[in-house]
Amino acid sequence: MPGPADTPAAPRTGRPSLSALPGWDRDDLNAALAAFRQNPDDPLGPAAHAATDARSFFARHFAPGPTLRGRFTGYYEPEIAGSRVRSAAFPVPVHACPAGGISLPRAEIEPALAGQEIVWLQDEVDRFFLQVQGSGRIRLKCGDTLRLGYAGGNGHAYRSIGKLLIARGVFGADLSADRLKAWLRADADRGRAVMHENPSYVMFRVVDLPKGSGPQGSLCPVTVGRSIAVDPTQTPLGTPVWIEVDGMARLVVAQDTGSAITGAGRADIFFGTGEAAGVAAGRMNHEGRFTPLIRR
């Protein structure tokens, strides 16, 4: 950890110092700074980043704001088999957003989106969970991968079908994504009827991102373990946030949004791409501490 000669003195602000945050001195702030630098149009400017280490950078430019009681979940980038052409094996379309948008609910929307198909998936459950995550990688038969990013929604509020089924006594509170998928697939008509109880419908666009990059968030490409989705009316995009949850204490950056992510202290942590990331993301559903950092 830098000593007094290495760390510039921070201006007096009346706020506690960052070093008072539990675990601050043990976090890999270089990883947090790399994620922060993904923010476009950084108001600090390039001079603020020049010739300084991560700990000095955050100490010079930020102080902790009020700590909130947070609710943390996780999300990931799924990998799903798909096809560029419709077939018996791939009958379910993923749609682009039409010019001018569309406001029909999920149960009525698909006929009105004819001609907006991007790619075809194996079933409606794959499409539903792709929409819940808001981005994904589609594995094509030829070996190519098509990356999809969020393009827009239909304006209807998201309703969690997992919470709905728990409230009805179909499942206990320990419901996992895999158990929910299996239940939805066990009876296609029953599954479709339940999915239609979430009127929200997400549309996508093909995104061209550098190899190794995370999916496109609302602000910029997101970083594994260092990007969170927030409610932008409560936490402005681009804000560094110190989080303490489930044994994790680290600096992350608000770089994404989600229709289910609402309220102060609400955060969805990005866990990465693929099945293992999905399992880890599905386990994250805890209360914790949420401390936004404030510009000095």
Q: Mean pLDDT throughout 273-283?
A: 92
Domain 18-74+214-295: CATH superfamily, name plus number? RlpA-like domain (2.40.40.10)
The per-residue pLDDT for 47 is 57
| 152 pLDDT more than 90 | yes
Distance between CA atoms of 109 and 66, rounded to whole angstroms?
42
pLDDT confidence of 209, banded at 50, 70, 90?
confident
| 210 pLDDT more than 90 | no
| 216 pLDDT more than 50 | yes
| Residue percentage of the chain with pLDDT more than 90 | 82
Q: pTM higher than 0.75, yes or no?
A: yes
The per-residue pLDDT for 102 is 98
The per-residue pLDDT for 7 is 35
Q: Mean pLDDT throughout 182-211?
A: 95
Query: 115-153 burial, b if ≥16 CB within 10 A, otherwise e?
Result: ebebbbbbbbbbbbbbbbbbbbbbeeeeeeebbbbbbbb
pLDDT tens-digit readout, 23-70:
999 999 999 999 999 999 776 666 566 657 899 999 999 999 999 999
| 4 pLDDT more than 50 | no
pLDDT confidence of 3, banded at 50, 70, 90?
very low
Domain boundaries, the chain: 18-74+214-295, 77-206
pLDDT tens-digit readout, 92-124:
999 999 999 999 999 999 999 999 999 999 999
Report the chain's mean pLDDT, rounded to a whole number.
Answer: 91
pLDDT confidence of 259, banded at 50, 70, 90?
confident
| 289 pLDDT more than 50 | yes
Q: Mean pLDDT throughout 121-144?
A: 95
Q: Mean pLDDT throughout 275-290?
A: 94
Provide CATH code, domain 77-206.
Answer: 2.40.240.50
